[in-house]
Chains A and B, each alone.
Chain A
Amino acid sequence: MVNFIKDRSSRWTLPADAWIGLLVIIIAVAVPFVIQSRYLLGEVILALIWAGVASQWNLLFGYAGVFSLAPMAFFAFGAYATAMLSYYLGWSVWLSIPAGAIVSIPFSLIIGLACLRLEGVYVALLTFAVAQMMYLLIVTDTGCFQQIGGSCVQFTGGATGFSDFGDFGMRPLLHQYWMIGNYAVVCCGAFLTMLVSWIVIRSPMGLAFRAIRDNPGYAMARGVNRFRTHLLVFGISAFFIGLLGGLYAVHFQAIGPTVFSLSQLLFVIASVVVGGVGSFWGPLLGAVVLTGADEFLSDFGEYRSLGLGLIITAFVVFLPRGLVGEIVHLFALWRRKRQSHV
């Protein structure tokens, strides 16, 4: 019964997705012309990065049913790989960002081989522990790898991380409009991420993800290998999350162990939960709404994370469908009501 309803809704959303996508692209192109403030544009860039990460986490959790708490571990891996390749080897960031994204894949597969044999909360726990282990190993790294001007640089950057390893080169190109250049680059990255999410969700692969989530027994009986499918979605999401991590590191020209903090992870999860778990446009809407709320809460300084925590809990308890889910639900109710009148 549930599957039947889902089938109908997917047939209905196919043209709708195209219209919404067009609208989103128009807004994305219009943003740099409308927003003059460099600070606000920076906030939009941040929202786009989180929207991309959230859409990949939604692919993992909302569609494939893998409750991974390691998205920030892959994000950090991509970001650190980009920073380290540029810092130590002097690579151009245009080369080290894709390289960082690519090396995120084998990294995620190793973690996946260890964690994905299990299910549900076990996966959540182990992936969370892996992220925490990476954080602890980076912060406690004290061995000198390089001496630069009397100060000591640890291999992993230690508690301070890396900075000044290169940028997009937009300043000499666009002068005072360099932020718009950064916006364009990040926008392309986020667009690519969401496009691939959409293709994966609509492809036979996406059907396999959902089959395993909805009815693992039946899916396995029809020859879908749960472990291999979950490993595949883990690798795909790690590539794009790593890519966004690299873009984040280069945009801010700095990366440090704070990306591992619980509030960053909760921001990604909250974007998906607020937008709607398992709805394609949910993470984008959630990330934009939450960045706006974060901006509003930052006037209250120290209550920022407190508000974030309460928002997550309130949505899980009172609005489990999320914003997009509620809109679709209300629309369906309205249609049914209209049909019954006719």
Chain B
Amino acid sequence: MLDTVVTVLTTGLTNGALYALATIGLSLVWGSMGMFNMAHGAMLALGGYLTFTVCTQLGLPLPVAVIAAVAGGALFGVLLYLVVVQRLLARSTEHFETSVMIATAGISIALEEALLVAFGGQPLKQPFTVSGNLHLGQSVVPLLDLADVVIALIVMGLTYWFLSGTKMGRAIRATAQNRDAAVLMGVPVQRIFLQALAISGALAGICGVLMSSVTQLTPWFGDDPMLKAFIMCVVAGLGNLPGAIAASFCLAIIEAAVEFLAGARWGFPALLFIVIAILIWRPAGLFGRSQIRRL
């Protein structure tokens, strides 16, 4: 019994920490500019492959490789803003939500196919790894999972500090709360959007490295976590960061429990039923402020 609980909690907490990192990246961009970034999954893969290239193929030390993944993700976010998002934002606010979703879905498949052409489809081994196990009574906890959770928590802490403690973070939160008011107070929202996408890309980079360390590195490994991260964002209420983190951990533990009890194929359906039930009960999400929408 205790073994089961430890196994479920280990899987749940590890996945929860990784989903939480992914949801923060998505939620940040949604909160500040109302954009659903369908390319986030491909950006996770980009981070994983950058680490693989720099560390395994070029032979540079691992920390450099991880920094390369973070920088590459941020750069991709900047490019995404300059080439796609900026033009769509300038055109119309009414159709922005749907058109940016279609545009980023196109980017997503293009980036994944580019990775497939460059690296091939066979699963690769992520160089970021920690060997060894921690023995808790009779159950075994891999140290790699622990390391992932610790790093994810550190990154979350840094993000929290950045959003609450720095001037740039305050400007991002102001823009998310009320874009018009932020513009009137002299916040350069264009630059804020750029920064939000860059940070989201950087988070995707590190998240991709951690995620591919517990699974395998393929061009489309990010799609499934991205979809689950979307679901967790929605359950929490889009744009609510602390809520997103809480929802990630809760849903990941539920998913792990269902997968352990009923078999791995029922994890995702269980998540989906929970999110549909929650959205029928509370359409704005668990922690979302229900807003009066002007029609």
The stretch among A38-46, A185-193, A309-317 that forms the contact with chain B is A309-317
Answer whether A302 and B113 are a contact pair too, CB < 8 Å, given A317-B88, A317-B103, A320-B99. Answer: yes
* Interface presence of A215 (CB below 8 A): yes
State the main secondary structure of chain B at its contact with A. helix
- Could you say which of B101, B227, B231, B283 contacts A118, with CB atoms under 8 Å apart? B283
**CB pair A303 B295 closer than 8 Å:** no
Q: In the bound complex, do residue A266 and residue B105 qualify as a contact, i.e. CB atoms below 8 Å apart? A: yes
Check A125 against B234 for contact (C-beta < 8 Å).
yes
| Contact present for B117 and A303 (CB under 8 Å) | yes
Known: A122-B279, A124-B98. A313 touches B268 (CB 8 A): no
With a cutoff of 8 Å between Cβ atoms, the chain B residues found around residue A259 in the complex are: none
- Are B98 and A67 closer than 8 Å at their CB atoms? yes
Type the 1/0 row for B209-234, where 1 means its CB is closer than 8 Å to any CB of A.
00000000000000110010011001
**Could you tell me the distance in whole angstroms from the C-beta of B25 to the nearest C-beta in chain A?**
16
> With the chains together, A217 CA to B295 CA distance in Å?
5
- Assess whether A320 is in contact with B102, with CB atoms less than 8 Å apart: no
22 pairs of residues in contact across A and B, judged by CB atoms under 8 Å: A121-B101, A124-B36, A124-B101, A125-B36, A126-B272, A126-B276, A126-B279, A128-B227, A217-B295, A262-B108, A262-B109, A269-B102, A273-B102, A303-B117, A306-B113, A306-B114, A309-B105, A310-B110, A313-B103, A316-B99, A316-B106, A317-B83
Contact with B along A280-324 (1 / 0, CB 8 A): 000000000000000000000011111011111100111010000
Task: Report B-chain residues with C-beta under 8 Å of the C-beta of A273.
Answer: 102
Asked if residues A317 and B84 are in contact (CB atoms below 8 Å), the reply is: yes
**B-binding residues in A (CB < 8 A):** 61, 67, 114-115, 117-118, 120-122, 124-126, 128-130, 132-133, 136-137, 140-141, 215-218, 220, 262-263, 266, 269-270, 273, 302-306, 308-313, 316-318, 320
B269 closest partner in A (C-beta): A133
CA distance A69 to B187 in the complex (A): 36
Beta-carbon contact of A132 and B98 below 8 Å? no
Closest-by-CB residue of B relative to A132 is B227
| Min CB–CB distance B86 → chain A (angstroms) | 10
* Residue contact A309 to B108, C-beta cutoff 8 Å: yes
Q: Give the CA-CA distance A134 to B75 in the complex, in Å.
A: 35
Query: A312 contacts B106, CB within 8 Å?
Result: yes
B295-A215 in contact (CB<8A) = yes
Q: Which of B62-83 contact A (CB under 8 A)?
A: 83
B87 within 8 A of A: yes
A117 in contact with B280 given A129-B227, A132-B227, A133-B268 (CB within 8 Å)? yes
Residues of B within 8 A of A304 (CB): 113
Distance of A208 from chain B, by nearest CB (Å): 16
Contact across chains for B88 and A313 when beta carbons are under 8 A apart: no
CA distance A263 to B108 in the complex (A): 10
Closest 7 A/B residue pairs (Cβ): A217-B295, A309-B110, A312-B106, A313-B106, A309-B109, A306-B113, A140-B265
With a CB–CB cut-off of 8 A, which chain B residues contact A270? 106
Contact flag A216-B295 (CB < 8 Å), given A118-B283, A317-B84: yes
In the bound complex, do residue B106 and residue A309 qualify as a contact, i.e. CB atoms below 8 Å apart? Answer: yes
Known contacts A311-B106, A312-B106; is-contact A305 B113 (Cβ 8 Å): yes
Cβ of B107 within 8 Å of any chain A Cβ, yes or no, is: yes
Would you call B108 and A121 a contact (CB within 8 A)? no
Q: Give min CB distance, A319 to chain B, whole Å.
A: 12
B234 surroundings in chain A (CB, below 8 A):
122, 125
Known contacts being A129-B227, A217-B295, A262-B223, is A313 close to B107, with CB within 8 Å? yes
**Is there an interface contact between A263 and B268, defined as CB atoms closer than 8 Å?**
no
Contact residues in B for A312 (Cβ distance below 8 Å): 102-103, 105-106
Partner of A129 from the list B95, B98, B231 (CB cut-off 8 Å) is B231
Q: What is the CA–CA distance of A271 and B249 in the complex, to the nearest angstrom?
A: 39
Indicate whether B167 reaches chain A with its CB closer than 8 angstroms. Answer: no
B98 with A302: CB separation less than 8 A: no
- A118–B102 contact, CB under 8 A? no
B residues near A115, Cβ cutoff 8 Å: 276
**A122→B88 CA distance, assembly (Å):** 20
- A311 surroundings in chain B (CB, below 8 A): 106
Q: A129-B272, A303-B117, A306-B113 are in contact. List 18 more A-B contacts (CB 8 A).
A: A117-B280, A117-B283, A118-B279, A121-B101, A124-B98, A124-B101, A125-B230, A125-B231, A129-B230, A136-B269, A137-B269, A140-B265, A215-B295, A216-B295, A218-B295, A262-B105, A313-B107, A316-B102
Nearest chain A residue, comparing its CB with the CB of B86: A317
Contacting residues, chain A, for B269 (C-beta < 8 A): 133, 136-137
B88's nearest neighbour on chain A, judged by CB, is: A317
CA distance A125 to B107 in the complex (A): 17
Do A313 and B110 touch (CB < 8 A)? yes
